Amino acid sequence: MNDEKKVGVLHHWNDGRGFGIVRVGDRSSLERYFLHVSKIKSGTATPERGMAVRFRVSTKPPAEGQLPQAVDADIDVSSIKSTQESDGVGGAA
């Protein structure tokens, strides 16, 4: 597993299915990772869009057409308010 940690923002979260997409970089960034609830090791089991996520990238290659997987994720539950305000998050997806 890659030991380098990345930091991103939870761009999308499907609570019913337990997964979401983490975006690294600004709003136009295409650097995105798939995050499953089982890969969250601290923070919250019910993440919300806009929360900051620190994670490692799985060394397992993604299937064709799939995003790389975020693993060993830590969610900063206190980040939601400041991230939404600075990122312009909050309206329709």
> Which tens digits make up the pLDDT trace of 14-71?
999 999 999 999 988 899 999 999 999 988 778 999 999 999 999 999 999 999 999 9
Q: What angle do CA 72, 52, 10 make, to 5 degrees?
A: 85
Given a cut of 50, is residue 77 above it in pLDDT?
yes
Question: What is the set of domains in the chain, with CATH numbers?
Answer: 6-87 (2.40.50.140)
